[in-house]
A and B are shown apart, each in its own frame.
Chain A
Amino acid sequence: EVQLVESGGGLVQPGRSLKLSCLASGFTFSNYGMNWIRQAPGKGLEWVASISSSSSYIYYADTVKGRFTISRDNAKNTLYLQMTSLRSEDTALYYCARLAMDAWGQGASVTVSS
């Protein structure tokens, strides 16, 4: 069974940093591109970033470009999202998903507030 489990969320002050992780199991992680998608409270979905299977290709939404970094460790079956210079508008539930968005985790909650 394909499983994606996010961790690392929490409450953080504006301007600070936070790193999310997504542990994958049930499939060959190194063969799949991956995404981060977020959903602000009561709002719709926003694609955040994508990374190819070998990290050769990386894309970011303009809203996070220069502040967030997507990365992966195929030996650890883990996807990461390093978030810096956090703003209140980054408050959201952050989902990891396979590139085709056919499998999603349950999300990690990030709240940016003083």
Chain B
Amino acid sequence: DIQMTQSPSFLSASVGDRVTINCKASQNINRYLNWYQQKLGEAPKLLIYNANSLQTGIPSRFSGSGSGTDFTLTISSLQPEDVATYFCLQHNSWPWTFGGGTKLELK
């Protein structure tokens, strides 16, 4: 199975900060990586698919990069509504696997 190592587990940042979250795959997953945002008590929401494609309706301050084994989610200017937990998902091969999550809070 492909292991997804996400870092950091916890992140505290100020409004306006540039925030980066990383996911590392245990083997090559090409660009088959998605990023999700999950707010408290809500279902996850797709932000980025296939490493760098912005899902419809998602603000442009969110972006994704990477390929192979190393991937990054960037929030260019943190907003209060971005407080949430973020997960990566590899869908290169079954079983699909999620990263452990990054809890983002405001400083």
Q: Which residues of A are interface residues toward B (Cβ below 8 A)? A: 44-47, 50, 59-62, 95, 100-102, 104-107
Contact = CB atoms under 8 A, between A and B. Distances in A.
Given A44-B100, A61-B95, A101 B89 contact: yes
B72 interface: no
Contacts of A47: 89, 95-98
Given A45-B87, A105-B43, A107-B43, A100 B49 contact: yes
Given A47-B95, A50-B94, A62-B95, A102 B49 contact: yes
Contacts of A50: 94, 96
B34 interface: yes
Interface residues of B, number: 21
B64 interface: no
Nearest to A61: B95
Contacts of B34: 101
A100 B56 CA distance: 13
Contacts of A45: 36, 44, 87, 89, 98, 101
B55 interface: yes
Nearest to B42: A106
B46 interface: yes
Nearest to B85: A44
Contacts of B98: 44-47
A50 B94 CA distance: 9
B83 to A, nearest CB: 17
